[in-house]
């Protein structure tokens, strides 16, 4: 999907619908960010990455950024550095989701670079094994293509970016990161499951909307469309 296609009337309409969906999802809290009383994970974690699957890398990332900025303003999020930086993880999650394919090892660069940044930090270095989670996006690229692995790699890519941001901009201790290890396992498995279910749901919806399916604005993967229309 090319960005100029998104700038067409139908493309802009899809962006508006996606933005509305993000606003709704951003108002439904999933869990609190541990150590940040005013920061929440929302159901946006489930739908953000799949934009890359429908719109492609460039347009998908652009649509996520637009939706995040609108959500940021709509919710009245304080204009603080940490809040602005938290826009980044979902952009990289959408990028990973859009370019996921067996053997595409370039997608592993970001989480592996985050590992290096984490371990080289005086605090992170004392809890270096926390960053082993970020091998998952790289490992997923070496295995047969699978939607859950794609979703898992995507959410752990976001986790890697978010983890490094938190490490460098929020005071923490090694014990803090060690205590997070079991929580992260549960949390990210839930996010991966949510992303997979969302991708199935949206593929199914668009596949049954003939005008959308034939528009060429979005890429529908019929492998993940339930009850496809008969020819």
pLDDT tens for 36-74 read 455 556 777 788 888 888 777 777 787 788 777 877 776
Q: What is the mean pLDDT of the chain?
A: 80
The confidence score (pLDDT) of residue 231 equals 45
Judged against a pLDDT cut of 90, whether residue 177 lies above it is answered with yes
Cα gap 91→67, rounded to integer Å? 11
**pLDDT given for residue 96 in this prediction:** 92
CB of 78 within 8 A of CB of 90? no
Pick from 27-31, 60-64, 92-96, 148-152: least confident: 27-31
Place of tokens 């930090």: 121
Note the pLDDT of residue 124.
97
In degrees, rounded to 5, the angle at the alpha carbon of residue 164 between the alpha carbons of residues 158 and 169 is 125
Between residues 207 and 213, which one has the greater pLDDT? 207
H-helix or E-strand spanning residue 42? strand 40-42
Percent of the chain with pLDDT over 90: 36
Region 204-211: mean pLDDT is 74
pLDDT at 4 over 70: no
Q: pLDDT band for position 159 (50/70/90)?
A: very high
Q: What is the pLDDT of residue 35?
A: 47
Mean pLDDT over residues 4-23, rounded?
Answer: 64
Average pLDDT rounded to a whole number, residues 126-130: 97
| Token digits of residue 128 | 């270096």
At residue 214 the predicted structure's pLDDT band, cuts being 50, 70 and 90, is low
Q: Which residue has the higher pLDDT, 205 or 146?
A: 146
Report the candidate in 154, 198, 228, 209 with the shortest Cα–Cα distance to residue 22.
198
Greatest mean pLDDT range, 24-28, 122-126, 182-186, 211-215: 122-126
More confident site: 30 or 207: 207
Q: What mean pLDDT is predicted for residues 95-109?
A: 79
Strand duo 40-42 + 29-32: pairing: antiparallel
């Amino acid at each position: 999907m090319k960005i100029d296609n998104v700038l067409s009337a139908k493309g802009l309409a899809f962006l508006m619908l996606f933005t509305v969906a993000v606003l709704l999802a951003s108002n439904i809290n999933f869990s609190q960010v541990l150590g940040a009383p005013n920061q929440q994970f929302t159901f946006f974690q489930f739908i953000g990455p799949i934009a890359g699957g429908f719109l492609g890398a460039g347009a998908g990332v652009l649509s996520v950024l637009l939706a995040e900025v609108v959500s940021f303003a709509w919710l009245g999020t304080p204009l603080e550095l940490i809040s602005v930086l938290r826009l980044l993880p979902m952009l990289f999650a959408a990028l990973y989701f859009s370019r996921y394919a067996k053997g595409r090892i370039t997608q592993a660069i970001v989480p592996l670079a985050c590992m290096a940044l984490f371990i080289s930090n005086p605090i992170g270095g004392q809890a270096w094994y926390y960053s082993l989670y970020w091998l998952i996006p790289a490992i997923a690229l070496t295995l047969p293509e699978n939607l859950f692995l794609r979703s898992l790699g995507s959410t752990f890519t976001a986790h890697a970016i978010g983890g490094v941001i938190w490490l460098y901009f929020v005071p923490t201790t090694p014990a803090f990161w060690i205590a997070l290890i079991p929580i992260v396992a549960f949390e990210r498995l839930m996010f991966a499951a949510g992303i997979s279910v969302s991708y199935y749901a949206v593929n199914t919806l668009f596949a049954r909307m003939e005008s959308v399916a034939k528009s060429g604005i979005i890429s529908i993967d019929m492998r993940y469309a339930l009850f496809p229309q008969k020819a």
